[in-house]
A and B are shown apart, each in its own frame.
Chain A
Amino acid sequence: MPRYQAPLADIRFVLEDLLRVEQLATLPGYEDATPDLIFPVIAEGARLCEEVLFPLNQSGDAEGCRLEKGRVFTPAGFPAAYRAYIEGGWTRLACAPEDGGMGLPELVYFVMEEMVSSANLAFGIYPGLSRGVYNAVRRHGEESLKRRVLPRLADGSWAGTMCLTEPQAGTDLGLVRTRAEPDGAGGYRITGTKIFISAGDHDLTENILHLVLARLPDAPGGSHGISLFLVPKIQVRDDQGTLGTANAVSCGGLEHKMGIRGSSTCVLNFDGAAGWLVGQPHKGLPAMFTMMNAARLAVGLQGLGLAEVAYQHALAYARDRLQGRALKGARYPNRPADPLIVHPDIRRMLLTMKAYNEGGRALAYWIGLHLDHEARHPDLRTRQAAGELVALLIPVLKALLTDLGFEVANLALQIHGGHGYIQDNGIEQYVRDARITQVYEGTNGIQALDLVGRKLPQATGRLLRHFCHPLAAELEELGRDGADPVLAALAAPLAKAFGRFQQATVTIAIRGLADPDEAAAAASDYLRLFGLVALGALWLRMARVAQEKLAAGATNPLYRGKLDTARFFMAKLLPQTGALFAAIQAGAAVVMDPEDERF
């Protein structure tokens, strides 16, 4: 049966040894976020995930949500789990103190997001969306609106959704048709149909706030004419949040999905529903994007969370399952057969999973730390640099960690053989659940276009500076005579891969200027190349920390493991960059030349 134990040792390594999490408490507003506070909070969160959320994962998947008389019911146990979640204060974790939040760093929220996704992704989507709505209203809403809704979102008594997609408007939100008419009293009436609305209706909270993209009557067409509205499921009468009558929002159907079945995915009909404008008229998409950025990071963490739990499952199975003998003779002669873990190909798969997962965790938390620097650092340049690094890496993290999440879940299934393909073992659920993370919040193809089309050209590539320059300096240092031989051996292949990345960037920038197809046709390969180099950079830094700890006499086997895995990553996974580089250099013609009819 699946099992999940939060990887607290590795989390502590990343936070404490790699990222020096104690520095967070030096940032204004985070004075209380000392390791003494952070680690107990994380341990408490781990307990909730392991004991409350994880046991509902398989049953929630089997049962799914149901729609009865226009109301959606979540799987058995979800409402109680949600109560435990808000009673534990987890919705308040990274909300501002003035809204009743705990005001803890984003980085801590990142850890929780990963653990919740491991334990029960379908459940995690409900509070995750509320957090997105909280951020959007906090950033773009008027004061009165903030007073009215933010405390409710923070304490978890109300939930939120993001209503973007319509039947004809998916990736291309310029096609949105939902209308918003001023009601003459400062509010708006929203009319239209939204589909694929996660957490669109449920039985977890007394109210739901829908963030809706819609057009005002005088709006220009296309993406410049879209405004953002907040539409409550139940009307709100006053600032105290007293609930009135039901708003004209109804759930018109539930989707039957491949995975995340415990999460309700709704068709929502708005029939002149009352709503508030959030932000400026016609500026809805930029406002929505600030929220989508956070959401994309969260989806990356979902990919990581699924990969982690799948790996734990596969590792346990590889230790327990006895099949065949090691090729050079029995390693466990007193047992009827050797466990799977002795077999080279099984080890290859396990190490691949481990390398991706631990590298991905380091990368994700590193970004989380920069989010906190962007928000809180007293020095303007540091804030700007951190913000630019985060902006650059958002599409990388989202697409890389969700693609790898699926790959890792698939490898976990593979290790199980036929037992992975049947439902009882629970492993196939992770493959199904992981699949959506590559699709929603902007498909991974869209992430790649965001990277080459928006992030690279921004300020002629300045965003890259914050990633490339420190890495170039590290590699130069480790390339010099007299460098630590263990680290130098890890740095050499990374330097090669980094060179490919540098050159590929220049190629795409130059070719893309002349022909946008050139950039777009290389985008997905480039994103993966970037992602692998980024994982390599984090692996090198982890190895360096581990090496220093060992040199200082540390005996924690985790450090030795870091060096082993770093070596595996550089030798067995990083060489993919060579193939990706060749594919990028191949150019767009091979993709664009064939006429549409010839497909």
Chain B
Amino acid sequence: MDLHHATVVGAGVMGSGIAAHLANAGIPVLLTDARLGAATEAVARLLKAEPAPFMHPDRARLITPVDLPEALDRLTNSDWILEAVTEDPVVKADLYRTLDRVRKPGSVVSSNTSTIPLSKLIAGQSDRFASDFMITHFFNPPRYMRLLELVAGPNTRPEAIAAIAKCADRRLGKGVVMCRDTPGFIANRIGAFWLQAAINAAFDWGLTIEEADAVCGRPFGLPKTGVFGLLDLIGLDLLPHVTGSLAAALAPDDPFRALVRPQPLLSRLIQEGYTGRKGKGGFYRLGRRPDGSRIKLALDLASGAERPSEKAILDSLQAARGGLTALFEHADRGGAYARAVMLPTLAYAAERVPEVSDDIDAVDRALRLGYNWKYGPFELIDRLGTGWFADRLTTEGLPVPPLVSAAAGRPFYRVEGTALQALSNDGAYHPVVRPAGVLVLADIKRQSQPVAHNPSAALWTLGDGVLCLEFTSKMNTLDPQVFAMIDDALARIGDGRGIWKALVIYNEGEAFSVGANLGLAMILYNVGLWDQIAERIAEGQRCYLALRNAPFPVVSAPSGLALGGGCEILLYSHAVQAHAESYIGLVETGVGVLPAWGGCTALLSRHSQNPTRPGGPMPPIAQTFETIALAKVSRSADDARRLNYLTTNDGITMNRDRLLADAKARALALWTPDYHPPAPPPPLALPGPSGRLALALQIEALQLQGKATAHDGVVAKAVATVLTGGDTDLTDLVSEAELLALERQEFMKLVRTPATLDRIDHVLATGKPLRN
């Protein structure tokens, strides 16, 4: 069955966020709420919310906000009705009966409940309703959190499950984890245990919140917010609610129930409105010094008083660099904290198989996608060693979970031949099956040797003659070693008629690439090697042109940030398959330079060749100028199309896990025995100094309005010089090579100005742009 239309009932934070994300996927949504006017208010709120629930504000048009009575008339064409109303079984039961009377036969009804069992929700409902009903548990915020827990009842139709799972996977881009109908399902069951254990232990062991967050954070691959930072983010008031209802639903002997205890400080904070970032602040707050400057404050757990926040310094944190076991074994309070929180949490997770799932991979995925853990609990135990873990539990007087005993020192995951296998509760290993159409580079890296590699990049085979170029430098910055690997790939693939047919540029880092390695450029600058900086620029242009002219398909597949040189590599690829969450931009002007690896040239050509553009030479120049001078970064792949960083020919993949397979398929689809690379852009008739003057007047107007700084003006004028073709006029044609030469010339002028240096210094020191 196909899902053409959806209705979301309940326009609270979750309901409206889910509606927005359905709209992101191109699905028209009716958003409704029992409170009159609430749905309309919710859409207005969505448009202002940060981080943005919509991939582009235009997506809001796909949402029709109506009040409930009207919705009941209009939802007859909805294939999927999502319920996200208050967590009250009576309210839900009434609503379900109403919905059941009006909904389209065969439509699916799902609840976003996080606390009420499915069995209770379908009690008293019709059989027909029960066969169309399931729980779809989204995580907040729905656009960004990748987990969807799906719980089906005993009588839910398999086609309904398959249709929702498929839609969630392909169109919403979610990682679907099938769960049993147990309290808290998987992620919150284990996540709440972890949070509660972490709060308790911080009080018990007398840690500062910075120390607690530093221990229960980076060393374990947990989000760097740690525990108290996370509570501030999700809202302190939510915690007693979640833990209370979860504890009530669990068996009397469930270890979680022993953890729940009153925390007077937490209650006091909630009472006083310190509910976290949405309130007056939480455990961390922003305050002001006497001189008015901002200062980060932290709460002292013992006294409840504010004090300036301080970086945690513990011997155990130093020791953790040498491995997790060193942290656990350390004698200081950091080590004690790690033991008190993570040992019971990991043991609790291990005890939950098979209660919550038969599958350890499902548990790991739930925590990775729902709590942003870098490693799931079983992966973390593997990092410690199951034998070490069992011994340590025994030392601490904790029971060893059966699954850990069954592992008997063997890891939970192993690679057998080329297949990744997971230990099951039958004591045997079973393959970890990726869904069809999911290709994970990490799997390939586990199973094979790189075709070539250097410190900054590697080449892998994806099968079927497709080579994958992976950046491996920090934040995937681009440096000479990356270019060397591009050259290597070009040489290996040759004419694309041999063993290799195509190149996919892809990686699984947090950012596709943040652009040129500024640090390296700054070292060259600081020692005065100007010529080598100019060489690096020319080298990048040569390398990107070689990619563009390759006689075989070159497909880039970005996810996350693709900035500066990372954006330019997309502009010079033959096609792009972008993850929906791609943040693409030519941001060079932010550091006081301009795109000089062909970015100005390529974007100008793209705007010039747009068949629907207004006539005359200036409109494409003005559009390109605006995008580059303002260093615009797309808020999504959808948005990137509107900025011309992507074209309508470029594909968008909603599910991160499907990006590589889609990109590979794209590359193979492009390949033909007589493949030709994209033609170089035709020479352009550009206005030269007169056009430059027109743009300069615009800049000066912005400066007069205080919207552009002095150096913004200098940089923008350099961009204008390139885009208007330097000292040309409309009777002449400017070639690509001439434009590239102008990029180099203006770049080298800018890089030697003190204000540009101040910008680069500032970005390198603080990670933030300087407005000078």
Contacts and interface: CB of A to CB of B under 8 A. Distances in A.
Contact of B527 (A225, A459, A464, A514): A464
B303 to A, nearest CB: 16
B761 A462 contact: yes
Interface in A245-261: none
A220 B315 contact: yes
Given A220-B332, A222-B318, A468 B527 contact: yes
A514 B480 CA distance: 14
Nearest to B528: A472
A503 B528 CA distance: 10
Contacts of A468: 526-528
Interface residues of A, number: 26
Interface string B673-684: 000000000000
A513 B479 CA distance: 13
A461 interface: yes
B527 A460 contact: no
Contact of B764 (A220, A459, A513, A514): A459
Contacts of B455: 514
B761 A461 contact: no
Nearest to B456: A514
B212 to A, nearest CB: 15
Interface in B500-535: 518-520, 522-529, 532
A472 B531 CA distance: 12
A461 B523 contact: yes
Nearest to A513: B519
B314 interface: yes
B523 A460 contact: yes
B335 to A, nearest CB: 12
Contacts of A505: 523, 527
Contacts, number: 56
B697 interface: no
Given A221-B315, A506-B524, A514-B455, A460 B519 contact: yes
Interface in A272-303: 282
A224 interface: yes
B1 interface: no
Contacts of B315: 220-222
Contacts of B398: none
B523 A459 contact: no
Nearest to A465: B526
A386 B679 CA distance: 53
A506 B313 contact: no
A99 B525 CA distance: 44
A509 interface: yes
A510 B527 contact: no
A510 B532 CA distance: 14
Interface in B307-330: 313-315, 318
Contacts of B761: 459, 462
B765 interface: yes
B528 A469 contact: yes
Contact of B523 (A221, A225, A501, A509): A509
B347 to A, nearest CB: 29
A509 B517 CA distance: 13
Interface in A483-513: 501-503, 505-506, 509-510, 513
A462 B314 contact: no
A502 B533 CA distance: 13
A462 B87 CA distance: 58
Contact of B313 (A224, A465, A471, A472): A224
B61 to A, nearest CB: 46
B539 to A, nearest CB: 15
Contact of A506 (B314, B518, B527): B527
B97 to A, nearest CB: 62
A506 B764 contact: no
Contacts of B318: 222
A462 B761 CA distance: 8
The 6 closest A-B pairs by CB, nearest first: A472-B528, A461-B526, A221-B315, A502-B527, A468-B528, A460-B522
19 contacts: A220-B314, A220-B315, A220-B332, A221-B332, A222-B315, A224-B313, A282-B313, A460-B764, A461-B523, A462-B522, A462-B526, A463-B526, A469-B528, A502-B529, A505-B523, A505-B527, A506-B523, A513-B519, A514-B455
Given A220-B313, A461-B522, A502-B528, 20 more contacts: A220-B332, A221-B315, A221-B332, A222-B318, A282-B313, A459-B764, A459-B765, A460-B519, A460-B526, A460-B764, A461-B526, A462-B761, A464-B526, A464-B527, A468-B528, A505-B523, A505-B527, A506-B524, A506-B529, A506-B532
Interface of A: 220-222, 224-225, 282, 459-465, 468-469, 471-472, 501-503, 505-506, 509-510, 513-514
